[in-house]
Structure formats: C-alpha cells, structure tokens
Structure 1
C-alpha cells in the first residue's frame, strides 16, 4: 500500500522542523512501509526504553539527537535506566559504566522527557486511558497498557520510540487498529482454590509459553478478582515468554467482558486447557535453586507499586531480616516518595531492606547483588526467568510472604502454595 502523509509529516521529512525531526520522520516512514501501514496517526504520549545503556553507540545516538536540537512533541516518560542516577557511586558501581549510563539519562531529559525512570509507567499519574493511542516501549509496560488499561500501542523497539516521541506520529498498524486486538487463542484454566499472589506471575509465565505471538483470552478467573498488582505480575511474566503484545482475561480486562467479545465474535484458532500439573512443571522451571539458603531477596521487577510497598511493610513490621540475607526493592522515584510519606519506607528500612530507584533488576549486577551471594529469591516470574542468565545465580520463586519469611530465616521453605499441592505428584523432579 502507498503511504499517505499529512502536510506536517512532509514538512518534517523536508527538514522544516529541524534535523532531528527530519531524521526521525525518515525512520518512521521506512518503518511504516515495512509494516504495511498506509497512514500515520497522532499519539498522545510516549515511554522510552532506549535510555538503557548498552554501550557507546546508544549514548552517541542520543547525543546526536540533542546536538540536532531534538525536543519531544508529546509528554514522554523514561524507562528505568541502567543505574540509580542519584546513588550509583555510593552503591559501588564502576564509574566506567555509571558515568555513561547516567549521561544517557541526561540526554533524554535534555530532549524534554520527564524524570520518571521507571519500568512501570502505568503507576504514574500520567497513565493513559482506555482507547488512548500511545507509543510505549518496554515489554511489560506495553502488555499492561494494552491489556489492563485498554490503551493502544505496539511493542515498540528501542530508538524507534524516541523517533515517534520527537514527531508525535506513528504508523497505523497492529494493536493501534481495533481489529488487531482480538484474541485468537482461548485458554481454559482448571478450578483452583486458595490462590495467592504467586499464582499470577506463574500463570503469566506459563500462558506466555503457550502463546507464541498469538493474543490469548484466558477463561476461569471470572470470580478470582485479580487486583492491579496481580495483573502487573501476570503481564510481566507473560511478556517474558510471549511475543504477543497483549492478553485478555474474560470478565476481568476491559476489552473482555466475555470470551466471545475478546475473540471478536470468531471461533478461536486454538483452544488449550491448562492443568494443575502443567502449572506445577512451570513452578519447578522457575525454582532453579538446588540449595535452601537465600542470600538475597530481590523485589520490584517490574518496579514495586505503592500498594506492594504497603503490603510488604505490613509483612515486615516488627520483624528483622537475617544478618546474612539482603532484601532489596526497586521502584520508581514517585512511588518511593509516596511510600516514604506514608511511613512504609521507614518500616522496611527498620526491617533491614534497601531501596534502589531509577534502575531495575534486569540492569542490576554486582555489587548491588552481593558478590558472595549464590542463591536469590524473588516473587517476580520475570526475574525468576532472567536472573540465572543475567547474574549467574539460581533462584527460589514464591509469594511475597514466602520471600519475607526467607529474608528472616535465610532459607527458602520449599513449600508449594496450597493451589499447587496435588498429592504425590508435587515432588520436585530430581536434578540431573
């Protein structure tokens, strides 16, 4: 199809609005052609993932845009960057990494982006509304925006995100179109009782493995009433194992008042039934640790919400962590300020917890992860999946309450949640 451009699109392409907008529009036009889009659309906000430092080239790219006078045209938030921008030196981060990582954040701020530095922009006051056309990058943020908020975005890649923010224009394709948001896969869940918060990240991880790039509608949670933290955990784990840009949960997410509506009135291309045994197999995949000891409890992947801080403070109140076990929480600055004002930070620091802002576990290594630490524990399906490869540590995965208990005892209980206790079949498979 031939791409139709507006008069202002052509002005940007011709350099009328400066070199940065011209280069950005050139990249967008080429991407639109590759995607088969026949027009561009206006977007209301952007979230930039390209602010993560991956080497000199990404800093050079951003600085070149700044030199060309780049300024964002829509409200723009920044993802978690590679360091805690205010405290990386006191955390012992090598300056050879910390300085360019912080400088990359500064370059995007010079382009007019907000000081957000969070992988959970949906927790900010600027979160988009149902039907809003946006451009977000970062897989968990994209999935949450599409699925839970009902906003419309693709899984935008790094660097295309800032190009669109500089022009306010994006190719009209994929999930920006109502007809591209329907489910094609129906997933039926077993009847499970006594669900805890470990259920949702585990389910997201498992469902993502089944989906590939197909959008699913999940049936069987109509009466479970997952809250926004549950959906955040589900979506992040789902985005870890699936290429799909969104999910539907029948009776829960806004575009799925019923499975039939989520499917767009069509029969599903595939119908899958998940058994409790299937979920148990995924549980053991996420629980890669072979020894009970826990050297580090890592929380906040994606960034902790205010309600998670409050719940954790309740679990930790009046207790003290084990001397040999660290507990570290990552969150955005805005959430940290709210939690501090509410007294939750003081409660958690009295327990022995540490807070890290601006960055997240997918970017953190030693010395924030203690060099002597061999085994960690998390309630994040996303981090349980990534940590062995990213930081070379084995993982215990479990609920937030189990994480707190492990922080106090220095050991993971190894208990299965009630909803996974299936009799003799619950024995962990022997490690080879």
Structure 2
C-alpha cells in the first residue's frame, strides 16, 4: 500500500488546518470509516483555531454566492429606468443566473483541478467583488449584463467547490458543514433581497444598494488569501482522477443530477412565478412578495436541522419522499385554493426546498475522495442547472399557451415527484467510485 497527501506537503497551512494523508487500496480508493459516507483515517489533529477559520471561510463564501442574484431583482425597475433596458434585455438578466451556473459550473472542473480549491475560492470572491463593483458604476444595459456575468461566473464556480471543500477539510462533519453552507446560501439571498432597497434609500440610489455588497465579498476573500500557501488539490495519483465522462456512466451520478435539476427547476419557478400566481388569484402584490420571503425563510431552520434528520433516518429515503410530498402539497394548494391560506402553501413549498441542501450533502456522502466529490459536484450542479432552466421558462410558456396557471402547476406537481424517485436511488449507501468501471479499455 502507499499513501499520498491531498494538501501541500501534508502539513498545516496558514490556517493551522491540515488534510490527512489517505491510505489507498489497490483499486485506488481510500480506505476508512464509511459509516457516514465519508472517509476518515488517522491523521494529525488540526488546531481548533484552524478548524474555526476554514469553517468560517466556507460559510462566508456561501453567503456571497447568491448576493449577485438577490440584490438585483428588488431594484430591477430602477435599473431598467436608469440604464434604458428593454424588456428583452431585462428578461435576459433574469435568466442569467441559471445559464451562468450551468455553463461556468461545467467548465470549471479543469481550472479548479489546476488551481487548487483555496485558489479557486479566492478567485470566486475576487470575481464577485469585481463584478459587483463594475455593474454599480456602468451606464449601459448591455455592459451591466456583462458585469453581471463576471459576478455570476464567480458564483457558479463557488457552487461546485463547496462540496469538495467540505470533503477535504471536514470529512467527519459533512452533514453539519453542508447544512451550514446551505443555510448560508439561503441567508445570503434573503439578506440581499430584504436589505438592498433600504441600502439604496439610505445611500442615494440603486447603485450604492447593489455595490455595497462588494464589501462583504471583499471581506470574505481575506481568510482564503491566508490559506493560499497550503492549497488543496485533486490527487495527482492517476487512478484517483475522475473525468466527467467516467462519472457520466454512473447511475448514481445521473440520479444525483436529475434530483438536483428537478428541485432547482421547481425552486426557480417559485422565485419567478409564485407571487404572480397569487396576485392573479387576488392576493395583493405586497402580501405575495412577503410570502415569497416566508418561503425562503422557512428553509433556514430546516437546513440547519438536516444533520440531526440525516442521522436519524440513515440511508432510508424518507427525507426525499417527505420533500417531494410537501412540495406537491404546496403546489396543490396553489392550484385549488391560492388565496385561501397562501401562507400555508408558502410554508409547504419552503419545507420542500430542503431537498436542495440534502442533495448537496449527498454529493460528499456518496464519494470516497475529494477528486470524486469535485467531479460529481461539477456534473450534478453544472448540468443540473442547465436542465433547471427549463422550469421557469416552461412555466411561463405553458401559461402563455393555455392562458391559465393550471397546466404549469400540474407540471410542477409532477416535477416534485421526481425528487422522490431519484432521491430513493441517491439515498442508497452506494459510493460513486464503486459504480464506475475503472478497467482499461482495449
């Protein structure tokens, strides 16, 4: 047997945190404790300060990944007015997040492997900061779109490096760290949506309102700069490097991709159309907007409670079944009685959003190596977001074609059923590496 190091020279970096060397079997996979789907091997114990620093850095990174999205929607009317955006350009702006998450997510695998996870995280935050600053000072709608692409490209890479960062630094705390960064993603989006308008009012307009978020991303960059000297790279041992082509032959990878796509398609349909569905049923626009905020807020405590729930249910598929059931119930309520108890439909849909963090947690729990986690993350999120773009677009197209919300909502109910179907496959205690045919082909 032989061992290799996944971080620098296996020493402690600037953070005081080292990633242990891993024992590799003849098949090329690490050997360790598999009780929770992670690999744990004897290693030097990192300092408490190092654990705190890297954990805080991961959470701060996650907080910033939805700010570029959440800060624009609430001031879009002012942005359009000042920059002379046409309705077409504004429509492109609303679809940019999903497109960028897909394109740059898929395209980031090779770059992350070469850069290392710490340098990639620093690059993510640098792009976010640059994009947020530039788009707050431009005077042209098209240039505003290009600056938004810079920020969203950073966010796209950030999406796919979160699971391997957790796998590398917290292999024994995957559910906990995944729930923390999942809550941070939701919290960042909610904070940007809620506070951008007050910031704009307080500091003289929408430019300050969206530009001030660059301060947060700049601060989040600092700890990653401190950790650059001891970066985390995908293993250089040949048999431990996984290509997207190899992973695409895994049934587990396809199940992971499709559950992520189904959940994300429904979620972006909620963000784009839920208020209008309620508004067309007679709910006031202010109340409908507040209910969208409630929908997002409900997911925070559920996400933080996921480690406890995952520990209780183990590898049984009860959680994806529950997420699918409450999502379907929420949409059924919107279909049959949208204006009766709309707060209840918002709560049910918000609870169903727990499927997002559960799926991200499974990316790390269903892989043995950091390299496997990184490739599965890119495959799941990059291609998953590409498919998810069908959700909000398809809802709008069905509504225009039928003149009613009935057909789109029925389609969303059916879509929620896919969470249960593919979640059942993902919940099985099967590792990605065990589903791959790694034999050389003649």
Interval containing the TM-score (normalised by the shorter chain): under 0.3
- Structure with the higher strand share, 1 or 2: 1
- Structure with the higher helix share, 1 or 2: 2
TM-score normalised by length of structure 2 = 0.27
Larger RCO (CA under 8 A, 6+ residues apart): 2
